[in-house]
Amino acid sequence: MNSLKISNSLTRSKDLFKPINPKNITMYVCGPTVYADPHVGNARSLIAFDLLYRVLIKLYGQKNITYVRNITDVDDKIIETSKTKGIPIDKITSNVLKNFHRNTKDLNCLEPTSEPKATDHIKEMIEMINSLIKKKLAYINNGHVYFLISEFKNYGKLSNKQLDDLISGSRVEISKLKKNPLDFILWKPALADEPGWDSPWGRGRPGWHLECSVMSEKYLGKIFDIHGGGLDLLFPHHENEIAQSCANNSSDILANYWVHNGFLNMNKEKMSKSLGNIETISEALDKYNGQVIRLALLSAHYKQPLDWSDNLLEQSKATLEKWYELYDDVESEIDNSEIFSCLLDDLNTPKYFAKLHELYNVASKGDKIRRIEFNNACRLIGIFNQKKDVLVRQKQDASNVDKKYILQKIEERIKARKTGNFKLADRIREELSKNGIVIKDKDNKTEWEYK
Ligand code: AMP
Ligand code: ZN
């Protein structure tokens, strides 16, 4: 069988993937915090791990893989959003989750085997905290429970940092209640108007890191194959997951392979809600087909940073439209192992795309076998999931919207000129020009054309 190599943050090298049990490959990926509609940065992570899942399926068969992606539905950010917007928490989380599911479908991501929610596992989280307290790996202070990192000798192993560097170099929550600044919260008290659960330490809620330790163990076991997430989760989230689980289980390992995707940037900075430089997946889907977005997000290697831009999307759109010229409705078994080997090399999508272009060129000259291989290779990365006429129809719809918008703008400009508002008239002309449309006034009429 072909073997997969994958970059492992734990060993800091590209490792040969050796599953614990090839009949049950286990993968856990940190899922969304459902307080705001997911943005295309989140989509990058979703698609990177969807690709890994597809490669594993091809190697081992879908029935032999358990892929768990959690839903964080209790969190400070959710409570804050509820308070500022005056919307009940359940309503926020259920709405965002609905949109998240719609988005993942539009991006053609396969459903994970299970998608556990944090709020469905509070009992197990309380049990785990109790166990850590009993083993003197956690302490209670004023309704709070903290993990005692001094009791875990491997702390910092994943992020490859000394404790002092971690304290000075990261956003570590300062609190007088802690023994060590790096001790992290397992349980915290809830205010009267906040969601809370009864516990031996009073009414409260769990810390974020705990849910992933509890749910990965419940669904995958104490040690599993792959743990994934964006690079921002490596520290402290993943380091803390390892600390809690390994300390509690007296084990050295939580997952054998830790895989992290790089950031999607916008204006040279990580796309994130807190910076405000986001485009939601739904906003992007209003302008582009899900396959175009998927292709754009796969265009760089998953570990590398990627800039989100109109140019990137337009290029992906043009590529997809070109590739669709060779789209065939029928699926076939014929495969091209040379192209698949690019994915086996740490999901090297840029190389895969280069080979796809070559395959396209040969296939477009009439090579039937190559054409089948090309179709299969597109399907393997999650494109070509819609029939050709769906794509063509969407293109026509989009150009009708364009025309409606252009005519409306021209109308507005005529009115502005009639009322002597030439500034506004000029602004409308500029706006149209920016969108690639030139207008000409001729014989009391305004004509337009694409640049
Ligand atoms: P969150 O909902 O913020 O917990 O994030 C869900 C997933 O998206 C996590 O794996 C994050 O690491 C990932 N993520 C968030 N922002 C970005 C970004 N700009 N680029 C790539 N991945 C991201
Ligand atoms: Zn997690």
Give, for ligand 1, the residue of 29, 47, 68, 232 to mutate: max count of ligand atoms closer than 8 Å to Cβ. 232
Write the secondary structure of 21-34 as one string of H (helix), E (strand) and C (coil): CCCCEEEEECCCEC
Q: Which atom of ligand 1 is nearest to the CA of 229?
A: 10
Say how many Å lie between the CA of residue 98 and the centre of ligand 1.
18
One pLDDT digit (tens) per residue for the chain, 451 residues: 579 999 999 999 999 999 999 999 999 999 999 999 999 999 999 999 999 999 999 999 999 999 999 999 999 999 999 999 999 999 999 999 999 999 999 999 999 999 999 999 999 999 999 999 999 999 999 999 999 999 999 999 999 988 888 776 666 777 889 999 999 999 999 999 898 999 999 999 999 999 999 999 999 999 999 999 999 999 999 999 999 999 999 999 999 999 999 999 998 999 998 899 999 999 999 999 999 999 999 999 999 999 999 999 999 999 999 999 999 988 888 888 999 999 999 999 999 999 999 999 999 999 999 999 999 999 999 999 998 877 777 766 666 657 777 888 899 999 988 888 888 888 888 888 777 678 888 877 888 876 6
Q: Which ligand is nearest to the CA of 48?
A: 1
Cβ(228) to ligand 1 under 6 A? no
Atom 7 in ligand 1: residue holding the nearest Cα:
42
264 lines ligand 1 (CB under 6 A): yes
pLDDT of res. 242: 98
pLDDT at 137: 97
CA of 258 to the centre of ligand 2 (A): 12
* Any atom of ligand 1 within 6 Å of the Cβ of 44: yes
Buried-state track 408-424, b at ≥16 Cβ within 10 A, e below 16: ebbebbbebbeeeeeee
Distance from the alpha carbon of residue 450 to the mean position of ligand 2, in angstroms? 48
Ligand (nearest to CA of 42): 1
User: What DSSP line would sit under 55-96, residue for residue?
Assistant: HHHHHH-GGGEEEEE-BB---HHHHHHHHHHT--HHHHHHHH
With a 6 Å cutoff on the Cβ, whether 41 touches ligand 1 is yes
CB atoms within 10 A of CB 148: 21
Ligand 1 contact, 46 CB (< 6 A): no
Ligand 2 center to 212 CA (angstroms): 5
Atom of ligand 1 nearest to the CA of 270: 19
d(CA 429, CA 112): 49
pLDDT of residue 401: 56
Structural domains in the chain plus CATH codes:
5-265 (3.40.50.620), 312-386 (1.20.120), 397-450 (no CATH)
C-alpha of residue 64 to centroid of ligand 2, in Å: 23
Distance from residue 267's CA to the centre of ligand 1 (Å): 17
Tokens for 34?
Answer: 């459902």
Q: Taking the CA atoms of the chain, what radius of gyration do you get in angstroms?
A: 26
Q: Is 310 exposed, middle or buried (0-12, 13-18, 19+ CB in 10 A)?
A: exposed
pLDDT on residue 169: 62
Q: Which tokens go with 398?
A: 């989009």
Ligand closest to Cα of 116 equals 2
Which residues are in the CB-under-5-Å shell of ion ligand 2?
30, 212
- Across 74-203, where does the E strand assignment appear? 138-141, 144-147, 184-189
Q: What is the rounded distance in angstroms from the CA atom of residue 50 to the CA atom of residue 255?
A: 18
The response to whether residue 25 sits with its C-beta less than 6 Å from ligand 1 reads: no
Q: Is 375 in the pocket of ligand 1 (CB under 6 A)?
A: no
